[in-house]
Amino acid sequence: MESQALALLPLWYAAFLLSLTCHEAAHAFVAHRGGDDTAYQAGQVSLNPWPHIRREPVGTVAFPLITFFLNGWMMGWASAPYDPWWESRHPRRAAAMSAAGPAANGLLFLAAFALLKSGLAAGWWTPLPQSSLALDHLVQPAASAPSFVEAIARLLSVLFCLNLILGVFNLIPVPPLDGVSVLAGLVAPFRAFYQRVRGYPALGLIGLIIAWRVSGPILNPILGRAVTLLLYS
């Protein structure tokens, strides 16, 4: 791996951990407000990443580092525990809990969008040509900008792209992603079917394979449109 890419590792991991922690803390907070204190008692209604790392060290540490060294970007997972009895009694509250994680990613995406747009308007940085765009490099500092502006631009670029990807990907309605739980909480016939079949271990693996196959055609145009709105409108 090139030394410049390796230098971006702390920045990528900070953005990844913030995004994942906000996602899981949102799940835990909405469950707590809805009457399920399982995640709250585990300390996950918090922006402290440690409870989330402790629960899922592979998904929050090992896998993100592996994907970064192999591909130059990070992906991983975490989880917030909940009470299945509470879920069965309050399906709409459970749907809100499931939707809260992607919603948190949406808010982080919008915050990054607003800050990048403001920096462009203020002349702190300028758009990169389309041929040079990357997940961690959407803008470049203006010639007169101080050196730290480059690091801020890179961090905001990662937060912009990563949270859009995480939010949309998790809403794909296949197990074990959040979208299937949202659908099950809102649509009673599907909920009955899903409760019967979700105990099969292979279901989650099949769902991830399906999500991975369909995510490209879903995510690429959404991400492309978001970048166009940011840089060229």
Write down the mean pLDDT value for the chain: 93
Q: For 161-189, how does the pLDDT look when each residue is reduced to its tens digit (9 = 90+)?
A: 999 999 999 999 999 999 999 999 999 98
Mean of pLDDT values over 197-226: 89
Q: Which of 197, 206, 186 is nearest to 99 (CA)?
A: 186
Where in the chain are the domains? 3-232
Mean of pLDDT values over 75-90: 94
Query: According to DSSP H, which parts of the chain are helical?
Result: 3-7, 9-33, 38-41, 50-55, 57, 63-71, 84-89, 91-122, 148-170, 178-186, 188-197, 201-232
Cβ pair 34, 15 in contact under 8 A: no
DSSP three-state, residue 56:
coil
Would the pLDDT of 144 be above 80?
no
Q: What is the predicted pLDDT for the residue at 74?
A: 93
